[in-house]
Structure 1
Amino acid sequence: MIRFHKEGYKIILITFVIAIALILLAEKFIDILWLVKAIQILVIVFVIIVLQFFRNPKRVGVQEDHTIIAPVDGKVVVIEEVEEPEYFKDKRIQVSIFMSPINVHVTRYAMSGIIKYSKYHPGKYLVAWHPKASTENERTTVVIENKTVGEILYRQIAGALAKRIVNYAKEGDKVVQSTDAGFIKFGSRVDVYLPLGTKINVSLGDKVKGGVQVIAEK
């Protein structure tokens, strides 16, 4: 059975209402049969796109303290040592995952632990692969800590189409690896910042599965 994320319930309902209205209006006011059929097909395709975007497949992760899993579905587009300027203010390993419109857009906790930091930043809507997207786009920054790995940071980043980031992490919360951490509506990218010396288990260009695939470990 297909599950849908709660952040999509309202949009899905509105989509169905509009779809039914368009189909009924087309049948009532348009006499050209092929045009009516074309409108019906386009409406059905649009409904399917909305439904697939908000799907929320059940994922059961490894839940091991020494592992870091992919927080989202997508393609690994960055693996490099960088300066993290917001929280750590020192060198970290950045792993970035880009989500296409057809990916599942649920964000999941990359590891179990305590939320040490959670902050929302308003910003621009540059395309997700832009070098300045991590620091200038609308985004949320979350830091999780456990005794085995230490602290890791993940950042939900809005893109050119994303207009709302949903983040459930609150400072002091105890969270479980692979469980629901939020959603990026019609967006775009998540950056993960790991301690130096962390073993990276993915390569550039790899397609990863959020909530289950181990991308790094201590």
Structure 2
Amino acid sequence: MLTPQVPIAKEGYPFIVFSAFCTLLAAILGMAAVAGVLLFVTFFILSFFRDPERFVTDNENAVVSPADGKIITIERVMDTRFTEGEVQKISIFMNVFNVHVNRVPATGKVMKILYQPGKFYSADSAKGALQNEYCATVIATPQGRKLAFVQIAGLIARRIICWLEPEDSVVRGRRFGLIRFGSRVDLYLPPDTEIMVQLGQKVRSGETIVGHLR
């Protein structure tokens, strides 16, 4: 199943328009070097807010990656903050060159959303995972399985955007938010989930299958 294509996330429009305006103004004023730098910045912003089409599996037991990036953690832990039980935790680090639109990993219903202000340490550090600002979404699948996906701010990323609300019904692969500019998303899965990814693997939001629910 292909999700509808939206080339650029709407949250990027103000940044793109402002940067393009400054580029044009510098060019009109004859500031060629400045215009060149600003043109590069404009293309970088366009790239950052890109929102490409993705192929989403129809397998009802599949859990897809909520973010583009690299797998930096796969571990079994006791989760006392979100799902309140033993989980398999997968952490995905997004650098500034990754697509930053996040997607729902599994079909279900939003049980709760937890927002916590915090610090802005490097998102790929243990300190950042525990102390940084985050927005956690907990959902229950139609089969009653509980899982959570957590957007975590980083050293550069200072703005978490989540479009979901409690009681929302969500579909695997649906866009649910983004993080500006570069950060991390943690995924908390039931302990018996069959994990399909490895440390260091690059994944694509809405497309890469990270696990199968049993």
Question: Structure 2: any 5+ residue segments left out of the alignment?
Answer: none
Matching residue within 99, 102, 117 for 2:97: 102
Judge conservation of contact 2:68–2:205 (CA < 8 Å) in 1.
yes
Please list, as runs of the form range in 1=range in 2, the aligned pairs for 1:57-206 lying within 5 A after superposition. 57-148=52-143, 150-206=145-201
1:3 corresponds in structure 2 to 7
Tell me by how many angstroms 1:149 deviates: 6.4
Cα deviation 1:85-140 (Å, max 9, x = unaligned): 21223221100000010000001000111001112111110001110222211110
Following superposition, the deviation at residue 40 of structure 1 comes to 3.0
Q: Could you tell me whether the CA contact under 8 Å between 1:78 and 1:95 is conserved in 2?
A: yes
Structure 1 spans left out of the alignment, 5+ residues: 31-35
Please give the root-mean-square deviation of Cα atoms over the aligned residues, in Å.
1.5
Identity of aligned residues (%): 33
Instruction: Answer whether contact 2:48 2:96 (CA < 8 A) is retained.
Output: yes
Question: Does the CA contact (< 8 Å) of 1:78 and 1:97 recur in 2?
Answer: yes
Corresponding letter in the other structure for 2:87? R
Aligned to 1:23: 27
Mapped contact 2:24–2:35 kept (Cα < 8 A)? no
The aligned counterpart of 1:33 is none
Distance 1:109 1:52, change over 3 A: same
User: Whose radius of gyration is greater, 1 or 2?
Assistant: 1
SS where residue 87 of structure 1 aligns? coil
Contact 1:164 1:184 in 2 (8 A): yes
| Matching residue's letter, 1:125 | F
Is residue 20–residue 39 contact of structure 2 (8 Å, CA) maintained in 1?
Answer: no
Q: TM-score, normalised by structure 1?
A: 0.91
Mean alpha-carbon deviation: is it higher for 132-141 or for 192-201? Answer: 132-141
CA distance in 2, matches of 1:85, 1:216: 22
Calculate the TM-score normalised by the size of structure 2. Answer: 0.93
What stretches of structure 1 move > 4 A for 4+ residues in a row? none
Q: Separation in 2 of the partners of 1:92 and 1:23?
A: 55
The count of residues paired between Structure 1 and Structure 2 equals 209
Preserved CA contact (<8 Å) 2:107 2:142: no
